Every structure is written in C-alpha cells, then in structure tokens.
Chain A
C-alpha cells in the first residue's frame, strides 16, 4: 500500500531534525511526518562531532556535537515524528517516492504533500597518485570511525587541507591517541578558524602552507605520503618533494552538496561555486522551484551545522504554514534574523556572495573587529582571550558569572574583558569552544598559566612537564600547580607554575619524554649520569661500579665496560691503557642456583665442562 504523508524529510542531520521539529510543533503532533535517513544512527554527522559548537546558547553553543544530536533526536521523538534509519530514498518519481529499507530488505512506496530534502554533503575527493589506496580516507570518515565506532584506523596521519574540518580532525586524532605528522594546505592561508589552527600549533603539529600531496605510497595500505610545495598556480615545484612516514592520509578538501534527490524532483539546479558547486535554486524561505519541495542545510549551500539548524526551522515553519494555512510568519522572521546575525562575519563572505546570486541578500559588518590590547593588571588572577578573528560565537560572554566579557553586540564580534570585573574563575576557559581562553597571574617568584585541556592523561598537582609556546616549542621545564577538573563539560583547566616572565608565552605543555643515550643496558645508566659521577671525582672504574652499579647487572659488564672506560679516559684526559681495567668476577653469566647446588651434591654432568683434577 502506498503510504501518504503530510511531510517527508530526507536526512536526519541537524537541518532535517529541526525541520521536523518545526513542522510537528506547528501542527501539534508528528502524525504523518516521516524522517528517512541512510545512516545507522540519527543525527547525520552530529554523532561524530566531539567538539563544542560555536554560536550561541539558543543553538547549543559550547555543547558537543554528539550531545546536540541526542537532544534534537529526543525532541523529534517527543513530538512523535517517526524516524526510519538505514533507509534510503532511492527515487522521487512524478507519482511516488521509493524508499529502500536495508534493515528489512524491502522497498516501500509513499507520497507526500511536502518534501524537505536535507541530504547534506559528501567530502570531495582529490587527484594524486594512488589516491584509492586503502589508508587514504575522507577526514570526516576517520572522524566517524574513531568517534562513533571508537576504532582508529592508523597510528600516524597526514592531513590534507587546513579548513575547519582538517583542523578539527587533526585535533580529535590527537585526542584519540594518534600522531599527526603534519597538515598540508595548498593555499597560502589557513581556511579554518585561527582558534582551531592555534590548538593544532600548540600541540607542535606543523601546518605546511603552499603544500600539496603528490602520492600515497604503499602496496595494499598506505605506508607513506609524498608532499611538495606548490607555486601560485598550485603546480608542484620540482625538488621540494618530501616524504612522510604515515599509515593514514585524511583528505579534508571541502564538501559537495548531495543534490541527486532534489534534482529528481525537477527542482532547478544552479551552479554557484561559493555555495559548493551545483545546488538547488531556492528562495529565502528555503523553497525550491518546485512549490512543495524545500531544502535546508549543506545541500542548499556548504556552511556549518548551526546555520543548517536555522535553515531547517525556516523550511519547517514554511511547510507547516502551507499545510495549516495558519501564519508562522513570526517564527520564520525570528529565524531569518538569527541567520542574518550569524552571517554578518568575514567567514560568511562566500555564503553571502553565493546567496546574492540567488537574489537573497544578507548584510555584512556591524560587529566589533578591534582586538583588546590590554591583558589586564599584572598580579591579578585573570582571563586572557586569544580569539583574533570575528567568528559567530559568544559562550565566553554568556557564561561569565560576573558579566566581565562581552562580544560587543553582534555575535561575530571579538570578545573583550573588563578587568575590573574579571575574577579569574576560569569558567569561560571551560566553555570556550575554540579553547582560546587562558588564565594568567604573576606571582612574586613565579607565574601561573591556566590552560584549557581535553587530552589524556589528566595531570595531577606536582607533575613535572615541559612548558611549550604557541607553536608547541619547548621553552622551559615547569610543573602542574593544580587542576580545575570539569567532569561534565570535559574541558579541564590545568594551572601551570611557570618561570616569571613566561606567562605571556606559555600556552601548552606536554609530559617530558626524554630520549636518553644509555651506556649500561642492565642498570639503565646513561652517558650523562656516568659523566656527572666522574665529575664528582669518581675517576676509577671500580669506584664507578660501586657508586652506579655499572657492569653489575646480568651481563656483567660485557656491553658497557669498554664504553665506561672510554668515557673515563675522555673525562680525565688519560689514555685508556692507563686506566685500571677493574676486576672480572664470576659468574660470567647468570647461573641457576639449582645447577650450582647439584654440583655441590656431587651429581656431576657427564658431558661438557673442564674436569677438576
């Protein structure tokens, strides 16, 4: 039987879910509203997003993506909207829509008064040698694998593309315990937010601008990647090739809208590169050229999840308005205002230009661009914000308990701190989705730097660490003063004791992993320790042995004695032949007691050994 729906929503990502919420809320219930989605879990790409979202509280700013997915799905279910997962819309015909339900291996048919298509986007592919080799993955695909399925496909990664996705995935790989060797980016600038790039840099991961990948190396799985510098026309410059030993390569080179279903409805498709290429034509209400077909989210233009949610609401309220004949204008205008506020910043320039080609105008500007130069009164425990670009985000402002932070009106504005009001509580540090806020204080004999921290292990008071600068470069030794744990939000604040004067430069730390040069394997003695002991006046091998136990391990000095004598000779300026060799004591190898006892008991072996006369 052909099922008739009031609204069919294709895609259970952020745009589809908010679209369903809008329709069901306006209609009073979710009867005959169906969401179909190809994936296993509802939420589209939200379940794999472990980072906190930008934006404002009304659209879940500072909440992690997978938690936003759960909240939206819960809301949809409470409105009794049906969600069919593992179901693909395989065709939109003039008279019927076909759905293939994979779990039950059956094709259903339905018709619907309205269709909201929110099929999102697919990661773009890139041409280079061996690009289909297993181990070359979409960056989002690796995110799905590690964050949704908790499987890491490799240990060492190269990321291609320094847009937000490349930067975010690089960070999340480190959180999952992988090594990111580098991010290569063909253009001369980082496309993603500076705050994301800064997170990567202070982990010490290089971002190589004007570089591209030439080749994936390996037979059945990636074993390396060849990259090279490119000229201004993106052509590789000969002689600049370098190879990275990696087992995985992540491509983060952009997204393309999934237009095939919307095209099947007969909706007009237009080519607008600023919005991601071929996209459905649509009006400011998200209606396509086909009266009862709406679109929302990345399908209608590549942007991000917050605007996808808003577009979903706009499409949903318009569908509800058509279905009920009751005006939803108030809600629609409110959402349009939200979109307008979000899209005023510089990162929305492309979207504004693309939409202008559809005759949809969004204003720009009206946000604060000035950076705060003042980092507050020395000696006071206070926050410092390193958020240098206008991006649509304000949890610092809304979370501050004393009202000390403001973004100056429009959400894209650069935050400033009123140091009279800031009490250095660190709440903004735990809330900032960009991990761009720190706490500093100058004390009499040292300084304190509080750093947002979302990695493992969780440090403890007194831990000795390497203090790193904004590029992840070692600056000095330091120690953990204390840790402000945030078990709910999972962004902890680690307060470091740093040498005086370094509070403006220390922005990261790592557990010291010393690479040492060993002399004595058995007793794990380093050249440094031996040299230090000689400097203390121990200049004889026998004495050195008594002090350090060098040569007293299981090997009996077979490996280290000659090296130790050489060091003694070097350090004391004597010739090696002038140094007392020291005694050679038995047993020469570890000998079992049982074997010795047997001899003493007179049970001599019949073979081997020199007979004692």
Chain B
C-alpha cells in the first residue's frame, strides 16, 4: 500500500470509509476521499491504459489538463481519472487510444 500512515503536518485518518470499485474486473478498495487515480495508485496500479501506439499511460498532471489518465467508466470513455471521485461498484476499464463513443 502506498497510503500515508503518518505525516508531520497533515492528519491521515480524516476519512477512511472504504469504497469498492472494479478496475479491469479486479475489485479495488478505495476510500471516500479518493479519485479513481489516487485509488489505483494506492493499490499499486500505475498503468491506466495505452495509447494507440501501445505506450502505457497513467497519472501525470492531477488537475484534469493532460489527458494522460483517461479511463473508461461504466462504458463511457475519456473520463479523467485524476478528477473523478470513485463510486461504490463503479466499473473502470483501461482505455486504449481515444476510446469508443457510446451513443
């Protein structure tokens, strides 16, 4: 786990209610404070998807600007993992390239 257990300035136990969601079918444990990106990284997952040319993609800017962390959530592509909070039962998948539109 890469979650901070202690910190000299911040409190680390502010809210630790567990939220479960799925990434590529694997059950992932996050907390109510987590974004998709923070929960995945906390669980040791650094690759969120691949580019069209098969380069791995992950977290980069944290503020919804760079589009490196795009994932598919419940069938919708191009969701920015870094600024999307997790929801119980959410189904997150790796996105390849630009994703597929859902009509």
- Residue B64 at the A interface, CB < 8 A? yes
C-beta contact mask, A465-491 vs B, less than 8 Å → 1, else 0? 000000000000000000000000010
- Residue B85 at the A interface, CB < 8 A? yes
C-beta contact mask, A309-345 vs B, less than 8 Å → 1, else 0? 0000000000000000000000000000000000000
Give the distance in Å from the alpha carbon of A246 to the alpha carbon of B56 in the complex: 18
B10, B57, B63: the one within 8 Å of A150 (CB): B10
Give the distance in Å from the alpha carbon of A206 to the alpha carbon of B51 in the complex: 35
CB closest chain-A residue, reference B1: A151
- Residue A141 at the B interface, CB < 8 A? yes
A66, A133, A141, A458: the one within 8 Å of B61 (CB): A141
Contacts of A220 in B (CB 8 A): 46-47, 56
Contacts known (A149-B33, A175-B8, A176-B7); A132 close to B57, Cβ less than 8 A: yes
Contacts known (A149-B33, A149-B35, A153-B41); A141 close to B60, Cβ less than 8 A: yes
Contacts of B29 in A (CB 8 A): none
Contacts of B48 in A (CB 8 A): 134
CB closest chain-A residue, reference B48: A134
Give the distance in Å from the alpha carbon of A146 to the alpha carbon of B41 in the complex: 11
Interface centre among B12, B37, B51 (most CB of A within 10 A): B37
A134 touches B85 (CB 8 A): no
B41 touches A132 (CB 8 A): no
- In the assembled complex, how far is the CB of residue B72 from the closest CB belonging to chain A, in whole angstroms? 15
- In the assembled complex, how far is the CB of residue A448 from the closest CB belonging to chain B, in whole angstroms? 23
Taking CB atoms and an 8 Å cut-off, the chain A residues in 550-601 that contact chain B are none
B61 touches A145 (CB 8 A): no
B85 touches A149 (CB 8 A): no
B8 touches A490 (CB 8 A): yes
- In the assembled complex, how far is the CB of residue B78 from the closest CB belonging to chain A, in whole angstroms? 12
Contacts of A134 in B (CB 8 A): 46-48, 56-59
Contacts known (A151-B38, A151-B41); A138 close to B60, Cβ less than 8 A: yes
- Residue B102 at the A interface, CB < 8 A? no
A154, A175, A221: the one within 8 Å of B47 (CB): A221
A86, A149, A175: the one within 8 Å of B7 (CB): A175
Number of A-B contacts (CB under 8 A): 117
Contacts known (A40-B35, A64-B9, A134-B47); A123 close to B4, Cβ less than 8 A: no
Taking CB atoms and an 8 Å cut-off, the chain A residues in 83-107 that contact chain B are 86, 88, 102
CB closest chain-B residue, reference A221: B46
Contacts of B57 in A (CB 8 A): 132, 134
C-beta contact mask, A7-51 vs B, less than 8 Å → 1, else 0? 000000000000000000000000000000011100001000010
Taking CB atoms and an 8 Å cut-off, the chain B residues in 23-42 that contact chain A are 33-35, 37-38, 41-42
Give the distance in Å from the alpha carbon of A289 to the alpha carbon of B35 in the complex: 38
- Residue A258 at the B interface, CB < 8 A? yes
CB closest chain-B residue, reference A102: B84
Contacts of B55 in A (CB 8 A): 132-133
B2, B33, B38, B62: the one within 8 Å of A140 (CB): B62
Contacts of A123 in B (CB 8 A): 61
Give the distance in Å from the alpha carbon of A66 to the alpha carbon of B9 in the complex: 11
- Residue A375 at the B interface, CB < 8 A? no
- Residue A427 at the B interface, CB < 8 A? no
A122, A138, A153, A458: the one within 8 Å of B2 (CB): A153
A39 touches B64 (CB 8 A): yes
A454 touches B9 (CB 8 A): yes
Contacts of A140 in B (CB 8 A): 61-63
- In the assembled complex, how far is the CB of residue B5 from the closest CB belonging to chain A, in whole angstroms? 8
Taking CB atoms and an 8 Å cut-off, the chain B residues in 2-25 that contact chain A are 2-4, 6-10, 12
B9 touches A50 (CB 8 A): yes
- Residue B68 at the A interface, CB < 8 A? yes
Give the distance in Å from the alpha carbon of A489 to the alpha carbon of B42 in the complex: 28
CB closest chain-B residue, reference A44: B63
A176 touches B61 (CB 8 A): no
B84 touches A39 (CB 8 A): no
B9 touches A490 (CB 8 A): yes
Contacts of B38 in A (CB 8 A): 145, 149, 151
B8 touches A456 (CB 8 A): yes
A258 touches B59 (CB 8 A): no
B8, B10, B34, B68: the one within 8 Å of A132 (CB): B68
Give the distance in Å from the alpha carbon of A40 to the alpha carbon of B38 in the complex: 13
- Residue A135 at the B interface, CB < 8 A? yes
B4 touches A144 (CB 8 A): no
A86 touches B83 (CB 8 A): yes
Interface centre among B3, B46, B51, B55 (most CB of A within 10 A): B46
Contacts of B3 in A (CB 8 A): 150-152
Taking CB atoms and an 8 Å cut-off, the chain B residues in 42-81 that contact chain A are 42, 46-48, 51, 55-66, 68
A50 touches B10 (CB 8 A): yes
CB closest chain-B residue, reference A50: B9
Interface centre among B10, B12, B34, B62 (most CB of A within 10 A): B62
A122 touches B61 (CB 8 A): yes
Give the distance in Å from the alpha carbon of A88 to the alpha carbon of B47 in the complex: 26
Contacts of A456 in B (CB 8 A): 6-8
Give the distance in Å from the alpha carbon of A423 to the alpha carbon of B48 in the complex: 57
Contacts of A490 in B (CB 8 A): 8-9
Contacts of B59 in A (CB 8 A): 134, 137, 141, 145, 153
Contacts of A86 in B (CB 8 A): 83
- Residue A455 at the B interface, CB < 8 A? yes
Give the distance in Å from the alpha carbon of A175 to the alpha carbon of B6 in the complex: 10
Contacts of A150 in B (CB 8 A): 3-4, 7, 10, 12, 33
Contacts of A136 in B (CB 8 A): 60
Give the distance in Å from the alpha carbon of A454 to the alpha carbon of B8 in the complex: 6
Give the distance in Å from the alpha carbon of A122 to the alpha carbon of B65 in the complex: 7
Contacts of A265 in B (CB 8 A): none
CB closest chain-A residue, reference B40: A151
Give the distance in Å from the alpha carbon of A112 to the alpha carbon of B83 in the complex: 27
Give the distance in Å from the alpha carbon of A142 to the alpha carbon of B34 in the complex: 14
- B residues with a Cβ closer than 8 A to A are 2-4, 6-10, 12, 33-35, 37-38, 41-42, 46-48, 51, 55-66, 68, 82-85
Given A145-B38, A145-B62, 9 new contacts (CB under 8 A): A122-B65, A135-B58, A137-B59, A141-B63, A151-B4, A151-B42, A152-B4, A221-B58, A258-B65
A–B complex contacts, Cβ < 8 Å, 5 sampled: A122-B61, A135-B58, A150-B33, A151-B3, A153-B41
User: Across chains A and B, which 7 residue pairs bring their CB atoms closest together, nearest first?
Assistant: A134-B58, A141-B62, A149-B38, A144-B62, A134-B46, A150-B4, A151-B42
